[in-house]
Chain A
Amino acid sequence: MMDLLLGGVCKAGESKKLETGKWRSFRPVVDRNKCIKCGKCADYCPDSCMEIKEDGAEVNLYYCKGCLICIRECPVKAITKEVEEK
């Protein structure tokens, strides 16, 4: 039996343990030489998978569902897709 809290209360942010990256068919790959660190991919990612690091955007593949909105919205076309191999 699952132990439930009174009133169906859930703890905050517990979804973080779900590896939604397993849903992915394609993965986005960032070309750091082209990335201008504008942050558009991070803003538009429905799953908060993009982090802008010192040398460019980095994809969090644990959560990335492979929707590829980042590829479509990147203003300098720094992101491409690759078939996910399981």
Chain B
Amino acid sequence: MEVKELHAPGHRACPGCGCAIAVKIILRETGPNTIIVSPTGCLETFTSPIRSSSWEVPWIHSLFENAPAIATGVLAGLNSQGNPNGTKVVAIGGDGGTYDIGMGSLSGMFERKDDILYICYDNEAYMNTGIQGSSATPLGAGTTTTPVTGDSFGKMVEKKDMVAIALAHGVPYVATASIANLADLKKKVRKGMDNPGPAFILMLTPCNVGWGYEPEETVELARKAVETGLFPIVEFENGNMVSALKIRPVPVEEYLKPQKRYQHLFKNDKFEDVLKAIRKKAEDNIKKFGLA
């Protein structure tokens, strides 16, 4: 059977990869008249082993730290030739390439107001190198560099607020999206592409290897992250919130319990404060964005 997706199968993502779902849907919306830039990360690794690229659109791998700068260069190249076909430039990077290593370069892209859509697939750690914590790893989550042992309860601090960081740069279109709501994701990709100037979309893409759950639960966990209030689905245009997905909040435990990275919180009473802080985070989000 012939597969017509712009992200071809045969790629080497782990079974049940949330990022692979997201990229397929993103490319359905961008269409073929797009150049994709990716920093180092899972996506780059599983789509581009030599002679087995799964990209059916022009794609370029930068270094870990400079995908937004490369995207700026690609756009400048297109513009210098008049960009007769109106080709769009989209960068897709993981949380490592976005929150940590590419942060300076991304800040520059936001500052220059380059007409680029930057999409972050956030799986909350460096997954393809062995689950090292990133600044997107949430409070209480165990990774190989935020270990759970003795009194250590995993990540000791909250994750960075990338939405607030993008908004602080005056980025005209900033949104979050979920792989559990693909129509909304597509709509936001379209808006981000049509918006003149930079746009930033943050997606939570569960990773069964790094989070420790069965591969079939990927979409279900993405859905639970939204329903608990831990990952609010919001949208900002020119700094103003224009939409927020209403939820009927479910307890955060429904999201945390199926994941190995949070198991210690339920086995030992001494981590009760961490659980409380996670519950409070969900409540704060619900209040802040008026989700319920």
Contacts and interface: CB of A to CB of B under 8 A. Distances in A.
Contacts, number: 112
B48 A10 contact: yes
Interface in A65-83: 65-69, 71-73
B51 A48 contact: no
Secondary structure at chain B's binding surface: helix, strand, loop or mixed? loop
B89 to A, nearest CB: 17
A73 to B, nearest CB: 6
Interface stretch (B13-21, B67-75, B97-105): B13-21
A18 B15 CA distance: 14
Given A4-B50, A15-B53, A72-B216, A47 B12 contact: no
B10 A18 contact: yes
Nearest to A49: B9
Contact of A2 (B3, B51, B215): B51
B175 to A, nearest CB: 20
Contact of B218 (A11, A23, A49, A69): A69
A46 B52 contact: no
Nearest to B55: A12
Contacts of A15: 8-12, 47, 52-54
A86 interface: no
B15 A67 contact: yes
A46 B21 contact: yes
Contacts of B3: 16, 48, 51, 60, 63
A31 interface: no
B182 A43 contact: yes
Contacts of A10: 48, 50-53
Interface of B: 1, 3, 5, 7-13, 15-18, 20-21, 24-25, 47-48, 50-57, 179, 182, 215-220
